[in-house]
Amino acid sequence: MEIGQAIRATRLLKGLTLEQVGARMGSSKASLSKIELASSVTFKKLAQLSQALDVPVSEIVKLTEAPSQEGRAVEMLKIIMECDALKEHAYDAGDEEMSIVDEIREIVDAK
């Protein structure tokens, strides 16, 4: 996630409009919209936004460090592998061979 997207996500989580944040900062709606669409922002602006949103700068920056799509997929697979339901349906050599996707679908549909 880029910094502008992280700023927008934080604003929306706080339930604030561009106008409300702008009023707190003394900036226009258009100026804030440009920041939210940007891939970079000055530290001074980020600090002002942080104060206007009433969150630490680190909380906004942390959102930019979210794992990639591939990283999320790996984490999901780890969770699935640890899931008791998957252990119950572990592959048995006597069973028909089934893809992991089909196996997961069966487990999810059974729940």
Q: Which residues contact 28 (CB under 8 A, 6 or more apart)?
A: 22
**Could you tell me which residue, 27 or 103, shows the higher pLDDT?**
27
Residue reference for tokens 């922002």: 41
| DSSP state, residue 95 | S
What is the reported pTM?
A: 0.59
How far, in Å, CA of 21 to CA of 17, rounded? 6
How far, in Å, CA of 41 to CA of 30, rounded? 15
Cα–Cα distance list, 84 to 14, 38, 80, 87 (Å): 37, 43, 9, 5
Q: pLDDT digits over 25-79, tens only?
A: 999 999 999 999 988 888 899 999 999 999 999 988 888 876 655 566 666 666 6
The chain-wide mean pLDDT, for the chain, equals: 78
Domains and CATH numbers, the chain: 3-64 (1.10.260.40), 69-110 (no CATH)
